[in-house]
């Protein structure tokens, strides 16, 4: 029986360029590099055992800059790095030192600015893996703005462009038309447009899978947001992901509680079982970001000090690494 070695890219250096992976150049027959020594101790010893069967998923535990929206962009990046991440997702706005809220990257910024920002992130030890489109799929001018974002992502070497629809249904044909209109540019650029759940036309994974099927392009896939499925649609994300997991290429990580208060929260603080959620995608052979969008505690006020956000970011990373470590051990024993 052929065997593959698992690389869990959970804050460790990745042996393949993520943009090349998005272009379909995953080395299915090659052995994955070892994790660096420090993180190896956190992830089960000196080396991950090989696993039988299909090639396992290579997860990238990332943090979005979104939880740091109340702080300058530079503080977000350094905080994410200090919290132990090696991967970052961009978005959306940040409050600068003067108190002005600014886009992390303007929609109409030249692609060269995206390349410069990506180089800065890499200089800090953070590989950018995903960025927000910042425009709804149904919006006027959405296609042109998405095309600009695709060019920015390509220049930055970012493999995934995250988008979604409005929270209310309607204009479904515009959604399909816009996605079809951007698919060719995305394919040529080596960027995958990923739709996440956000109510309305994109309320569930099943709804997003229907959209993906109608578009019919490899460059349009799903970013699974379990918190939004439970929040907007009040559907069970563990059941829902089984209807669409073959189309999932990334995760926007957040949890959600319906009791004692209806609110989103960080992973492990809510009602979603992440062991069950991630089980269907353990053996996809893909490189798959798990980007933390919400890291906050439920029922209490949001922190006002950046250092408190750093601590929550670290906790979210450690929680996801714990979940993945357990799932890997389970896979090893099968």
Supply the pLDDT for residue 220: 98
316 phi/psi in degrees, rounded to 5: -65, -45
Supply the pLDDT for residue 331: 86
Supply the pLDDT for residue 7: 36
4-33 average pLDDT score: 36
Identify whether 260 is preceded by a cis peptide bond (ω within 30 of 0): yes
Q: Is the pLDDT of residue 32 over 90?
A: no
Lowest mean pLDDT among 11-20, 79-88, 247-256: 11-20
The Cβ of residue 304 has, within 10 Å, a number of other Cβ atoms equal to: 8
Supply the pLDDT for residue 44: 36
d(CA 103, CA 73): 9
Q: Is the pLDDT of residue 206 over 50?
A: yes
* Per-residue pLDDT tens over the stretch 65-78: 999 999 999 999 99
Q: Is the pLDDT of residue 9 over 90?
A: no
Residues 6+ apart with CB under 8 A from 227: 237, 252, 253, 254, 255, 256, 264, 265, 270, 272, 293, 294
Q: Is the pLDDT of residue 16 over 60?
A: no
Supply the pLDDT for residue 298: 98
Q: pLDDT grade, residue 50 (50/70/90)?
A: very low
Q: pLDDT grade, residue 332 (50/70/90)?
A: confident
d(CA 173, CA 48): 47
Supply the pLDDT for residue 172: 97
* Per-residue pLDDT tens over the stretch 280-289: 999 999 999 9
Lowest mean pLDDT among 3-12, 104-113, 143-152: 3-12
29-57 average pLDDT score: 42
Tokens of 212: 């993906």
- Give Rg (Cα) of the chain: 19
Supply the pLDDT for residue 24: 37
146-166 average pLDDT score: 98
Residues 6+ apart with CB under 8 A from 192: 22, 159, 160, 161, 186, 218, 219, 220, 221, 249
Supply the pLDDT for residue 53: 55
Q: What percent of the chain has pLDDT over 70?
A: 84
Q: Could you tell me the domains of the chain?
A: 3-333 (3.20.20.150)
4 - beta bridge partners? 51
E strand intervals along the chain: 3-5, 50-52, 58-64, 87-90, 93-95, 101-103, 127-132, 160-163, 192-195, 220-224, 248-253, 255-257, 263-265, 287-292
- Supply the pTM of this predicted model: 0.86
Q: Helix, strand, or coil here: 295? A: coil
Q: Is the pLDDT of residue 43 over 60?
A: no
Mean pLDDT of the chain: 87
**Strands 220-224 and 127-132, how do they pair?**
unpaired
Higher per-residue confidence, 15 vs 302: 302
Q: pLDDT grade, residue 334 (50/70/90)?
A: confident
Q: Is the pLDDT of residue 4 over 90?
A: no
Higher per-residue confidence, 38 vs 83: 83
Residue indicated by tokens 């010893």:
45
Closest CA to 51 of 322, 323, 334: 334
Supply the pLDDT for residue 120: 98
52 - beta bridge partners? 3
């Amino acid at each position: 029986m052929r065997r593959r070695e698992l690389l869990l890219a959970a804050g460790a250096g990745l042996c393949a360029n993520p943009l090349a992976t998005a272009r379909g150049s995953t080395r299915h027959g090659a052995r994955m590099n070892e994790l660096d020594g420090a993180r190896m101790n956190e992830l089960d010893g000196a080396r991950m055992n090989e696993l039988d069967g299909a090639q396992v998923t290579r997860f990238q535990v990332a943090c979005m800059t979104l939880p740091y929206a109340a702080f300058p962009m530079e503080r977000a990046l350094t905080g994410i790095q200090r919290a132990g991440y090696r991967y970052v997702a961009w978005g959306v706005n940040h409050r600068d030192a003067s108190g002005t809220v600014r886009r992390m990257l303007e929609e109409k910024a030249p692609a060269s600015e995206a390349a410069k920002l990506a180089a800065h992130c890499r200089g800090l030890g953070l590989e950018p893996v995903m960025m927000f489109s910042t425009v709804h799929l149904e919006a006027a001018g959405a296609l042109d703005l998405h095309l600009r974002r695709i060019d920015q992502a390509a220049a930055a070497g970012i493999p995934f462009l995250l988008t979604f629809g409005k929270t209310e249904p309607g204009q479904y044909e515009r959604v399909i038309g816009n996605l079809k209109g951007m698919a060719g540019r995305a394919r040529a650029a080596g960027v995958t447009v990923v739709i996440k759940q956000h109510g309305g036309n994109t309320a569930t994974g099943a709804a997003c899978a229907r959209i993906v099927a109608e578009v019919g392009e490899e460059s349009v896939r799903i970013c699974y947001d379990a918190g939004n499925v439970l929040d907007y649609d009040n559907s069970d994300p563990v059941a829902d992901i089984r209807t669409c997991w073959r189309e999932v290429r990334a995760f926007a990580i957040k949890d959600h509680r319906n009791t004692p208060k209806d609110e989103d929260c960080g992973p492990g603080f809510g009602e979603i079982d992440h062991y069950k959620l991630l089980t269907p995608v353990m053996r996809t052979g893909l490189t798959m970001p798990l980007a933390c969008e919400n890291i906050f505690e439920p029922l209490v006020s949001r922190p006002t000090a950046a250092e408190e956000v750093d601590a929550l970011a670290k906790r979210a990373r450690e929680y996801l690494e714990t979940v993945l470590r357990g799932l890997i051990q389970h896979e090893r024993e099968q």
